[in-house]
Amino acid sequence: LWRKFVRLACNFMVIFIPWEMRIKKIESHFGSGVASYFIFLRWLFGINIVLTIMTGAFIVIPELIAGQPFGSTASKTIPKEHVVSAQDLDTVWSLGGYLQYSVLFYGYYGRERRIGRAGYRLPLAYFLVGMAVFAYSFIILLKKMAKNSHNSLASVPNENYTFCWRVFCAWDYLIGNPEAAESKTAAIVNSIREAILEEQEKKKSKNLVVTICLRVVANILVLLSLAGSIYLIYFVVDRSQKLEQSKKELTLWEKNEVSVVVSLVTMLAPSAFDLIAALEMYHPRTTLRFQLARVLVLYLGNLYSLIIALLDKVNSMSTEEAATKNNTSHWIDSTIFATRTAPEEEKWSTPGPGTGLPRNSTWAPEETSIPAYTLSEANKTTVYTQRPQDQCWETYVGQEMLKLSIIDMLFTVASILLIDFFRGLFVRYLSDYWCWDLESKFPEYGEFKIAENVLHLVYNQGMIWMGAFFSPCLPAFNVLKLIGLMYLRSWAVLTCNVPHQQVFRASRSNNFYLAMLLFMLFLCMLPTIFAIVRYKPSLNCGPFSGQEKMYDIVSETIEKDFPAWFGSMVGYVSSPVVILPAVLLLFMLIYYLQSIARSLKLSNQQLRMQIQNARSEDKKKVAQMVEARIQTQEESSMRLPKDSDLGSRLSSAHSVVPQSNGTVVNLDSSSSKRGRGETAAQRTPPSPQSGLGSPSAPLPGTSKCRPEQHINRCLRGRSASAGDRHQDRSCSPGMRTKHAEVVRSEPLFRRDFQQIDPPLRGPGLSAVVPRGPRSCAPRYYIINERDSRQKIHPTFWPERHFRMDALGDMVMCPRTTRQGVSWAPQQGHSPQLSEEEEDAPRRELVQWSLHPQSLRGLQGAPHFYAGDRSESQTLVPEHQGRMHFKSWDDSFEAPLDRPAYGHKKPRSRNFQSAQHPPKLRGKPKVEPSLTESDSMSAASSSDQQNGSNDQYPQVTPSQAKFRRSAGQLGRRKPISRQELVADLNDLICSNV
């Protein structure tokens, strides 16, 4: 019930998230990239709402309620000669007339320190809110970025199974609504396309030189166009200023050309960049980044050139003002007004502008207002009458910003309508009557360009931030604009845009946009702050009129409205004594956090690596299991041909047999060519055996073969358990606890081995005996695997282990019995060779049992199969998992850094080296035993022959390997190599 309630609440909440459904719909149709634009838009909308509330609640509404009403003061009254034209569309359009003297702009706000009955300190509020807007934006941006980066850390992209997950985990089985199903299908198609695209991008081969050249060219082009656009804007602003000075009446175009040009540039240049970016052949995501960065630079350049031009104008205005001041003072001197003294002027002026205006203590504004007033009264020239209002440069900047914003909006709407909608209509309805296919060739349907649109939002927001101080209503206007944009855009996207042809993933938590926004915010803040700090507020308007600097309001408030101790405290705090250490502390803190973050990053990376390793090990393990299973299958299938071979050998000449066996080998166990070649090469040593033994081969061979295989099968389980026991033993320090999950953790074990082995190999012969069993372990492990594979069930593991544990005690028994078997007829030699027939596990067992017991008489044969055993195991992996194993030779040559399966080889080599010393001692015995056996009974020798023949399929290719490994070994221990060769020769000789 609770869950249901929560779900209901969630559903309910979704309703209140603005445009959630709309965005979801767009996302399902156009992919996450387009949706990220809208999500970004929505987020900006949220920010702007907060900004609007801040400015509205603390500045606009108090001013409206408690401030002086319109027309009460000079700064709030439209000059008389302008009243006539105040309603003209022309004036309204350029935000003059009534709009200029409204709450929209800085100039309207009064400069009384307290307004209303509550004594609201409007100027202070104005200043603080202006700063708070920036502060809030910064904080919210950083917060969002931190959250995003956290998210992106949490969901580390895992490239291992991209496609699998997209296919098998894509469908949400909870979906029970046709529309949702449709959306989901669209989303799946999109995501699969994205993945395909990524894959193709990975594959794309590149011609480096050409691309580099192209990129250089592209960058030059971009720089040129950037410089051009900046120059253009500067030129236009300059020209408009000159025009303003030279002409009184400006045409509509002349008034708006700045904004229009800026908007045009911002609209056209991105498309040019887009074209240029096509030259560069980057990955789409990189292209997007580059595009965004360039467009951002462009926008910034535009904004900056604009603002610099404006500030230039402001500068010239203030110089003009200074000039007029000089003029007027000179004029005052020369006219009748000049005869009046300052107090008189004051007296005269107070009733003039001041209806309810409290006495101003500062003298400067009074002075300028008087001449201005007198001038307006005198109405000498229009230029002079305009001055008091025009000098309000803050209003002027705000006006420009608002104008820019409005024109930008108009252009956006126009471009959406023109470029998207009408183009869509045109393409849609005229394509039937056109001479080429409009839908697929030239005009096409518009694509939604994420980069430009996002950048446009950023740019827009930048303008807002820049102008917010001078025009408190700009955020409110922006809210409206964003709402309109949201609906228009989403409508346009859904109706007349086609999904981007190259879909790619732009994750929702994209910090890139936010980083750009932050950058923009910072850069937009700079000019504002600069203006606030650098320029003197205009004298006749705005809340700061009369102060030397705008921030004086704060110190003034502190001085006057707070107790004295607070002021002195602030004085101390702001003194260098406190500030410097604080800054130092901050630096230290930043450094500290930075280093912590770096170390965390490092550890994170390592952990990820570890996960990756574990995963790949797992993957290999799965592969191995399957291979082991396949191997068993092959072995069983090999056995059948073997038997048939034996049957055929009854009648056929013995010389054919090895060949046929060889072909079986080639077909079954390894198809690698080298294996075959070496089969041919290496068949020589045993062939004399077969040549000798074959005459008496047939009958006992066939008769013996089967039962032994049976035994073999029966024994496999035991030997497996024995193997496990070895493994257990070898790993016993600390590993025993893991036994229940040995198989799971097997790869780790192996790696441990690998690390342990090399150092152990160094000592060489001294550590022979302990190394033997340990090196056995992994091989046993494979047998286990095979064992388990025969019963194909994954959940079999624990049971098997259980069984092995149970059998662990019994291990001694089979071993001893085995030894008994192998010991007893040893002089007969045939059982020993019959052992050869048995497949791996038992041989291992024998070897193992040989070790401590040092059955020297047996050394010749088992030693042989030491190589065989390991090789036959490793061989199949080789040809099965050739991918892993491409460098067989390399893995031999450089055994220490060999990949997945290579670790078996050192062990085999190891094993052999371990076998060597006993063999040295055993060599004398081998000879007699073999000769003895040969001479003793034909049956036994036939057995031998049989056995060896039977072994060929497995042995021959592996012998080659064995030889190789022996050679390798010999490189390290030349003596042992000689011994080995001698041994082989001995074997041959004895057989002959």
Partner 1 sequence: MGNKQTVFAHEQLEAYQDCTFFTRKEIMRLFYRYQDLAPQLVPLDYTSCPDVKVPYELIGSMPELKDNPFRQRIAQVFSEDGDGHMTLDNFLDMFSVMSEMAPRDLKAYYAFKIYDFNNDGYICAWDLEQTVTKLTRGELSTEEVSLVCEKVLDEADGDHDGRLSLEDFQNMILRAPDFLSTFHIRI
**Least distance from C-beta 188 to partner 1, angstroms?**
6
Token pair for 175: 């979906």
The reply to whether 150 sits near partner 1 by the rule CB under 8 A is no
User: Which residue's CB is nearer to partner 1, number 16 or number 168?
Assistant: 168
The reply to whether 750 sits near partner 1 by the rule CB under 8 A is no
Question: What is the C-alpha to C-alpha distance for residues 328 and 763, in angstroms, rounded to an integer?
Answer: 104
The reply to whether 162 sits near partner 1 by the rule CB under 8 A is yes
Contacts of 602 (CB under 8 A, 6+ apart): none
The reply to whether 161 sits near partner 1 by the rule CB under 8 A is yes
The reply to whether 429 sits near partner 1 by the rule CB under 8 A is no
For 830-845, what is the HEC assignment? HHHHHHHHCCHHHHHH
Where does this chain touch partner 1 (CB under 8 A) — which range of 170-178, 423-431, 909-917, 972-980?
A: 170-178
**Least distance from C-beta 197 to partner 1, angstroms?**
10
**Least distance from C-beta 33 to partner 1, angstroms?**
18
User: Which residue's CB is nearer to partner 1, number 182 or number 377?
Assistant: 182
The reply to whether 623 sits near partner 1 by the rule CB under 8 A is yes
Interface with partner 1 (CB under 8 A), residue from 80, 347, 615, 736: 615
User: Which residue's CB is nearer to partner 1, number 395 or number 784?
Assistant: 784
Token pair for 418: 């023109």
User: Which residue's CB is nearer to partner 1, number 159 or number 432?
Assistant: 159
The reply to whether 153 sits near partner 1 by the rule CB under 8 A is no
Token pair for 478: 């922006």
**Least distance from C-beta 161 to partner 1, angstroms?**
5
Question: Per-residue x/- mask for partner 1, residues 104 to 143, rule CB under 8 A?
Answer: ----------------------------------------
Where does this chain touch partner 1 (CB under 8 A) — which range of 126-134, 166-174, 230-238, 579-587?
A: 166-174
Where does this chain touch partner 1 (CB under 8 A) — which range of 55-63, 104-112, 626-634, 866-874?
A: 626-634
The reply to whether 699 sits near partner 1 by the rule CB under 8 A is no
Question: Per-residue x/- mask for partner 1, residues 181 to 200, rule CB under 8 A?
Answer: x---xx-xx--xx-xx--x-
**Least distance from C-beta 439 to partner 1, angstroms?**
18
Burial of 531 (0-12, 13-18, 19+ CB in 10 A): buried
**Least distance from C-beta 210 to partner 1, angstroms?**
27
The reply to whether 31 sits near partner 1 by the rule CB under 8 A is no
User: Which residue's CB is nearer to partner 1, number 116 or number 798?
Assistant: 798
Where does this chain touch partner 1 (CB under 8 A) — which range of 245-253, 343-351, 487-495, 619-627?
A: 619-627
Sign of the four-CA dihedral 738, 744, 747, 748: negative
Nearest CA to 988 among 692, 590, 599, 566?
A: 692
Where does this chain touch partner 1 (CB under 8 A) — which range of 93-101, 178-186, 298-306, 504-512?
A: 178-186
| Number of residues near partner 1 (by CB under 8 A) | 45
The reply to whether 555 sits near partner 1 by the rule CB under 8 A is no
The reply to whether 157 sits near partner 1 by the rule CB under 8 A is no
Question: What angle in degrees, to the nearest 10, is found between the helix axes of 768-790 and 840-853?
Answer: 160
Contacts of 59 (CB under 8 A, 6+ apart): 109, 122, 125, 126, 129, 472
Interface with partner 1 (CB under 8 A), residue from 366, 627, 932, 950: 627
DSSP string, 255-305: HHHHHHHHHHHHHHHHHHHHHHHHHH---HHHHHHHHHHHHHHHHHHHHHH
**Least distance from C-beta 503 to partner 1, angstroms?**
12
Where does this chain touch partner 1 (CB under 8 A) — which range of 176-184, 562-570, 639-647, 909-917?
A: 176-184
Nearest CA to 625 among 754, 744, 753, 776?
A: 744
Question: What is the C-alpha to C-alpha distance for residues 667 and 700, in angstroms, rounded to an integer?
Answer: 27
Nearest CA to 398 among 41, 132, 138, 130?
A: 130
Where does this chain touch partner 1 (CB under 8 A) — which range of 351-359, 393-401, 517-525, 616-624?
A: 616-624
**Least distance from C-beta 401 to partner 1, angstroms?**
46
Where does this chain touch partner 1 (CB under 8 A) — which range of 70-78, 137-145, 273-281, 612-620?
A: 612-620
The reply to whether 494 sits near partner 1 by the rule CB under 8 A is no
The reply to whether 498 sits near partner 1 by the rule CB under 8 A is no
Sign of the four-CA dihedral 534, 538, 541, 545: positive
Contacts (CB under 8 A) with partner 1, residues 817-846: none
Question: Per-residue x/- mask for partner 1, residues 777 to 816, rule CB under 8 A?
Answer: -----------------x----------------------
User: Which residue's CB is nearer to partner 1, number 182 or number 439?
Assistant: 182
The DSSP element (H or E) to which 359 belongs, if any, is none
The reply to whether 625 sits near partner 1 by the rule CB under 8 A is yes
The reply to whether 308 sits near partner 1 by the rule CB under 8 A is no
Interface with partner 1 (CB under 8 A), residue from 1, 15, 89, 169: 169
**Least distance from C-beta 204 to partner 1, angstroms?**
15
Torsion (CA) 46, 48, 54, 59 in degrees, nearest 10: -160
- For residues 868 and 954, the answer to whether their CB atoms sit within 8 Å is yes
The reply to whether 613 sits near partner 1 by the rule CB under 8 A is no
**Least distance from C-beta 26 to partner 1, angstroms?**
18
Where does this chain touch partner 1 (CB under 8 A) — which range of 180-188, 403-411, 668-676, 948-956?
A: 180-188
Question: What is the C-alpha to C-alpha distance for residues 360 and 350, in angstroms, rounded to an integer?
Answer: 9
Question: What is the C-alpha to C-alpha distance for residues 325 and 232, in angstroms, rounded to an integer?
Answer: 34
Nearest CA to 123 among 555, 564, 566, 574?
A: 555
The reply to whether 530 sits near partner 1 by the rule CB under 8 A is no
β-strand 446-447 against 497-498: which pairing, if any? Answer: parallel
Distances (CA, A) of 245 to 79, 239, 316, 368: 20, 10, 11, 22
Contacts of 693 (CB under 8 A, 6+ apart): 941, 942, 944, 945, 946, 948, 991
Token pair for 482: 């964003």
Instruction: Reduce the DSSP state of residue 627 to 3 states and report it.
Output: helix
The reply to whether 633 sits near partner 1 by the rule CB under 8 A is no
Q: Which value, in Å, is the radius of gyration of the alpha carbons in the chain?
A: 45
The DSSP element (H or E) to which 446 belongs, if any, is strand 446-447
Token pair for 872: 């036959």
The reply to whether 564 sits near partner 1 by the rule CB under 8 A is no
Which amino acid is it at 992? V
User: Which residue's CB is nearer to partner 1, number 178 or number 356?
Assistant: 178
> Rounded to the nearest 5°, which phi and psi values hold at 447?
-100, 150
Contacts (CB under 8 A) with partner 1, residues 856-895: 880-881, 883
**Least distance from C-beta 186 to partner 1, angstroms?**
8
Question: What is the C-alpha to C-alpha distance for residues 521 and 173, in angstroms, rounded to an integer?
Answer: 44
Q: CA geometry: angle at 860 spanning 856 and 865, to 5°? A: 120
**Least distance from C-beta 669 to partner 1, angstroms?**
17
The reply to whether 10 sits near partner 1 by the rule CB under 8 A is no
Beta bridge partners of 609: none
End-to-end CA separation in angstroms for the chain: 88
**Least distance from C-beta 875 to partner 1, angstroms?**
16
Interface with partner 1 (CB under 8 A), residue from 80, 81, 171, 439: 171
Residues near partner 1, by CB under 8 A: 155, 158, 160-165, 167-178, 180-181, 185-186, 188-189, 192-193, 195-196, 199, 615, 618-620, 622-623, 625-627, 630, 794, 880-881, 883
